[in-house]
Amino acid sequence: MTAALSMHNGQTVALADVPVLSVAELRDHVIRAAGAGARLGAFFGNPLDASSLRLFAILVDGFSGNLLVLATDVADRYPALTPDCPQAHWFEREIAEQWGVRPLGHPWLKPIRFHRSYRAGEDAWGRPADAALLPGVTDFFQVAGEEVHEVAVGPVHAGIIEPGHFRFQCHGEEVLHLEISLGFQHRGVESGLLGGPDKRSLHFIETLAGDTSVAHAIAYSEILESLGGVTVTARAQSLRGIALELERLANHTGDLGALATDIGFLPTSSYCGRIRGDFLNTTALLCGNRFGRSLIRPGGLWFDVDGAQVSQILERLEAAEREVTNAADLLWNTSSVMARFEETGPVSVDTCRDLGLVGVAARACGLERDCRYELPSGIFRFAQIPVSTWDTGDVFARAYVRWLEIKRSAAFIRDQLGTLPAGHIHSPVPETAPSSLSVSLVEGWRGEVCHVAITDKGGRFARYKVVDPSFHNWMGLAIALRNQQIADFPLCNKSFNLSYCGHDL
């Protein structure tokens, strides 16, 4: 059997070197690797010609720190991986929707974003070309019975959040099943990136999930640097790491506050909202934008810091860290809060592995899934942040892992600012290599951000695949809610805090 191509994070390989297996071989390989603990980082199609599609699977092997790349060619159908490898389920629905290729035997094959197929005339569900495709208009899983009732929530919500539709099958207060239907935010980011890189590409990337701008921008930049064959200076790498951890600090702090809001715990709820702002303002010190937009660029950064800025960042960091410590300790020391957090929305470690969850959600199940540790790139090859895990898998674990990461990120930033290497912050990026494939993984605050670029003969993007951590984790939320109280949904939802636009692209 042909071996998979092994590569490291941020490497570029010639497209011709990617082994093309038969569908059966690819299934075997992926199922075996998944069984041995690897996860599917990305699984997507790229058209070869009008009638056939090449499927690429990127397996992330955390133990060896390697990425395994495989490919296979399919026409209009192939035997689905999902029955034997559940973590492929959302990817296969995406492939079916994007290319009109049917994964046969997929147990729950439905659109995920409600757009037309990328190949005209090929529709996995045989829908007419002029049929209106409305998000959320589809068949939902239903539980029958006189005492069962259905609750539909969204896409318009009571809070200021993004649109998504949730269907609960309830027996009294107990949720038997939750189905989540997204796609309302689909803007066509991946199509917009085709033919790039160009002036607009970075802006597409920075805005595809607004709260993860820095992580996505770093992933994109590492792809271009790898395709161009340029090494970023140590100073730029360090500053990128600082920006990434500041993003994590702001979002984790905001999440702890939001969790407190959902259970009506006033003190932490009020403090964290403001402290999150302090972290965002610290990011703004770096580049003038609170969300770190226009900070990262291929080859390095747009903005350098001087000594005065460094001391100001350190000062602000210290104050904010002290305050967030107080606010978070209030959570852990208040029994009414712990009573709400503990044993709410648990996900077992087996479920977590089966579904291929990533990021905070996976670490809260006790899995050491953290790209900064497993497949370090950039500054994380030199400065290690310990992986924060907790093994109860409930809302408390997801909250507590965030708190552990807040402390470790703050310590990391302090270290980096103390030993900031000298040098310039940008290196010119040469032309992108033609007919190549490049993969980059960055641990964003929510989890693993995976970008894959395939270039054509001219070095332009023939395919640019973005996998936001939310793509892996939405199903985790649905499963976490089984046999839980419907009144605990907002709390569970907040403990995952997934992105709608990052999923919908």
Partner 1 sequence: MQTIALVHPALALVLSPLLLGVINRTKAIFAGRVGQPLAQPYRDLWKLLRKGAVYSRTTTWVFRAAPVVGLAAILLATTLLPLAALPALLAFPGDFILLAYLLGLVRFFAVIGALDTGSSFEGMGASREVQFSALAEPALLLGLAAVAYHTHSLSLSEMISGLSSTHWSQAGAMQALLAASLFMVLLTENARIPVDDPNTHLELTMIHEVMVLDFGGPDFAFILYGASLKLWVFCALLTGLALPVRTGNLWIEVAVAVIAIFGIAVLVGVVESCMARLRLIRIPQLLVGAGLLSVLALVLSLR
Which residue in the set 209, 337, 347, 437 belongs to the binding site for partner 1 (CB under 8 A)?
337
β-strands 102-104, 77-79 pairing:
parallel
270 binds partner 1 (CB under 8 A): yes
Beta-sheet strand order (sheet of 436-443): 12-14, 436-443, 448-455, 461-467
Q: Least distance in Å: CB of 276 to partner 1?
A: 15
Which residue in the set 131, 137, 319, 339 belongs to the binding site for partner 1 (CB under 8 A)?
339
With CB under 8 A as the contact rule, which of the stretches 105-113, 244-252, 263-271, 465-473 interacts with partner 1?
263-271
CA distance linking residue 47 with residue 19, whole number of Å:
16
260 binds partner 1 (CB under 8 A): yes
Containing 477, the helix (H) or strand (E) segment is: helix 469-480
Q: Least distance in Å: CB of 256 to partner 1?
A: 13
333 binds partner 1 (CB under 8 A): no
Q: Least distance in Å: CB of 320 to partner 1?
A: 15
The contacts of residue 263 (CB under 8 Å, 6+ apart) are 337, 340, 341, 491
- Residues in 136-195 at the binding interface with partner 1, rule: CB under 8 A: 149-153, 158-159, 172-173
CB-based burial label for 130 (10 Å; 0-12, 13-18, 19+): exposed
Q: Which is nearer to partner 1, 344 or 495 (CB)?
A: 344
Which residue in the set 56, 78, 99, 271 belongs to the binding site for partner 1 (CB under 8 A)?
271
Q: Least distance in Å: CB of 142 to partner 1?
A: 14
| DSSP 8-state class, residue 426 | B
CA distance linking residue 36 with residue 363, whole number of Å:
18
- For the chain, the first-to-last Cα distance in angstroms comes to 36
CB-based burial label for 504 (10 Å; 0-12, 13-18, 19+): buried
- Residues in 444-503 at the binding interface with partner 1, rule: CB under 8 A: 485-490
With CB under 8 A as the contact rule, which of the stretches 19-27, 312-320, 336-344, 439-447 interacts with partner 1?
336-344
| C-alpha distance from residue 134 to each of 24, 125, 252 (Å) | 35, 14, 34
Residue count (the chain): 505
Q: Least distance in Å: CB of 243 to partner 1?
A: 29
272 binds partner 1 (CB under 8 A): no
Q: Which of 137, 133, 131 is nearest to 152 (CA)?
A: 137
**Residues 490/262, Cβ–Cβ less than 8 Å:** yes
Q: Least distance in Å: CB of 134 to partner 1?
A: 21
Q: Which is nearer to partner 1, 173 or 431 (CB)?
A: 173
336 binds partner 1 (CB under 8 A): yes
Containing 440, the helix (H) or strand (E) segment is: strand 436-443
Which residue in the set 334, 392, 427, 435 belongs to the binding site for partner 1 (CB under 8 A)?
334
Relative orientation angle of helices 469-480 and 489-496, to the nearest 10 degrees? 160
Q: Least distance in Å: CB of 329 to partner 1?
A: 15
Q: Least distance in Å: CB of 274 to partner 1?
A: 8
With CB under 8 A as the contact rule, which of the stretches 71-79, 269-277, 281-289, 432-440 interacts with partner 1?
269-277
344 binds partner 1 (CB under 8 A): yes
With CB under 8 A as the contact rule, which of the stretches 76-84, 138-146, 256-264, 374-382 interacts with partner 1?
256-264
CA distance linking residue 380 with residue 363, whole number of Å:
18
With CB under 8 A as the contact rule, which of the stretches 9-17, 66-74, 266-274, 357-365 interacts with partner 1?
266-274
Q: Which is nearer to partner 1, 29 or 167 (CB)?
A: 167
Strands, E assignment, 117-252: 148-153, 165-171, 174-181
With CB under 8 A as the contact rule, which of the stretches 81-89, 335-343, 350-358, 435-443 interacts with partner 1?
335-343
267 binds partner 1 (CB under 8 A): yes
Helix (H, G, I), strand (E, B) or coil at 104: strand
CA distance linking residue 242 with residue 240, whole number of Å:
5
Q: Least distance in Å: CB of 392 to partner 1?
A: 16
| Contacts to partner 1 by CB under 8 A | 149-153, 158-159, 172-173, 260, 262-267, 269-271, 334, 336-337, 339-340, 344, 485-490
